[in-house]
Amino acid sequence: MSGDADRRHPVDGDIGQQEMAPSKKGAVLVDGIILNGPTTDAKAGEKFVEEACRLIMDEVVRKATDIHEKVCEWQSPEQLKQLLDLEMRDTGEPQDRLLELCQDVIRYSVKTNHPRFFNQLYAGLDYYSLVARFITEALNPSVYTYEVSPVFLLVEEAVLKKMIEFIGWKEGDGIFNPGGSVSNMYAMNLARYKYCPNIKEKGLSGLPRFVVFTSAESHYSMKKAASFLGIGAENVCFVETDGRGKMIPAELEKQVWQAREEGAAPFLVCATSGTTVLGAFDPLDEIADICERHGLWLHVDDLLKKCYSANASYLFQQDKFYDVSYDTGDKSIQCSRRPDAFKFWMIWKALGTLGLEERVNRALALSRYLVDEIKKREGFKLLMEPEYANICFWYIPPSLREMEEGPEFWAKLNLVAPAIKERMMKKGSLMLGYQPHRGKVNFFRQVVISPQVRREDMDFLLDEIDLLGRDM
Q: Can you give the three-state secondary structure of 366-391, one letter per residue?
A: HHHHHHHHHHHCCCEEECCCCCCCEE
Site for its own copies in 310-339 (CB under 8 A): 330, 333-336
12: left (phi over 0), alpha (psi -120 to 50) or beta: beta
Contact call for residue 111 and its own copies (CB under 8 A): yes
Q: Give min distance, CB of 291 to its own copies, in A.
A: 22
9 binds its own copies (CB under 8 A): no
Query: How many CB atoms are closer than 10 A to CB 89?
Result: 7
Determine how many CB atoms are found less than 10 A away from the CB of residue 148.
12
9: which strand partners? 29
Stretch that binds its own copies, among 120-128, 243-251, 252-260, 318-326 (CB under 8 A): 120-128
Should residue 346 be labelled a site residue for its own copies when binding is judged by CB under 8 A?
Answer: yes
Angle between helices 95-108 and 42-56 (to 10 degrees): 20
**C-alpha closest to that of 217 among 388, 346, 424, 350:** 388
Written in H, E and C, the secondary structure of 199-250 is HHHHCCCCCCCEEEEEECCCCCHHHHHHHHCCCCHHHEEEECECCCCCECHH
Nearest CA to 370 among 445, 272, 289? 445
CA angle (221 as vertex; 217, 222 as ends), nearest 5: 70
Binding positions for its own copies, 197-256, rule CB under 8 A: 199-210, 221, 224, 226-235
Query: Which is closer to its own copies, CB of 35 or CB of 290?
Result: 35
Segment contacting its own copies (CB under 8 A): 246-254, 286-294, 347-355, 393-401? 347-355
Residue 314, classified by CB atoms within 10 Å of its CB into exposed (0-12), middle (13-18) or buried (19+), is buried
Which amino acid is it at 354? L
Q: Give me the phi and psi of 471, to 5 degrees please.
A: -90, 5
* 89 forms part of the interface with its own copies (CB under 8 A): yes
| Cβ distance to its own copies smaller for residue 247 or 356 | 356
Q: Residue from 258, 317, 325, 353 that binds its own copies (CB under 8 A)?
A: 353
CB of 360 to its own copies, least distance (A): 11
Q: Taking a C-beta distance cutoff of 8 angstroms, is the pair 71, 431 a contact?
A: yes
206/406 with CB nearer its own copies: 206
Smallest distance from its own copies to CB 48, Å: 5
Q: In what order do the strands lie in the sheet with 210-215?
A: 236-239, 210-215, 265-273, 297-302
Q: Which stretch binds its own copies (CB under 8 A): 93-101, 253-261, 316-324, 404-412?
A: 93-101
Is 63 a binding residue for its own copies by CB under 8 A? The answer is no
The footprint of its own copies on residues 10-49 (CB under 8 A) is: 18-19, 22-23, 28, 30-31, 33, 35-40, 42, 45-46, 48-49
Interface segment toward its own copies; rule CB under 8 A; list 85-93, 250-258, 267-275, 289-297: 85-93
Minimum Å distance from CB 372 to its own copies? 5
Separation of alpha carbons 445 and 2, rounded Å: 65
**Interface with its own copies, residue 81, by CB under 8 A:** yes
Distance CA 68, CA 264 (A): 58
Residue number, 342 or 443, with CB nearest to its own copies:
342
- Interface of this chain with its own copies, residues 154 to 183, rule: CB under 8 A: 154-155, 158-159, 162, 178-182
Among the residue ranges 58-66, 239-247, 294-302, 393-401, the one whose residues contact its own copies (CB under 8 A): 58-66
Region 246-265 residues binding its own copies, contact defined as CB under 8 A = none
Shortest Å distance, C-beta 39 to its own copies: 6
Q: Are 313 and 273 a contacting pair, CB within 8 Å?
A: no
Q: Using CB under 8 A, which residues numbered 365 to 424 contact its own copies? A: 365-369, 371-372, 375, 385-388
Looking at 116, 118, 143, 149, which residue binds its own copies (CB under 8 A)? 149
Query: Looking at beta carbons only, is 155 or 288 nearer to its own copies?
Result: 155
Signed CA dihedral, 45, 49, 55, 59: sign only: positive
Verify binding: residue 348, its own copies, rule CB under 8 A: yes
Interface of this chain with its own copies, residues 291 to 310, rule: CB under 8 A: 306
Distance of CA 255 to the CA centre of its chain: 31
Which segment (150-158, 254-262, 289-297, 315-323) binds its own copies by CB under 8 A? 150-158
Instruction: Using the minimum distance from each CB to its own copies, give the nearer residue, 150 or 398.
Output: 150
Three-state secondary-structure class, residue 462:
helix
Q: Does 341 bind its own copies (CB under 8 A)?
A: no
Radius of gyration of the chain (CA): 27
The CB-of-171 to its own copies minimum distance in angstroms stands at 18
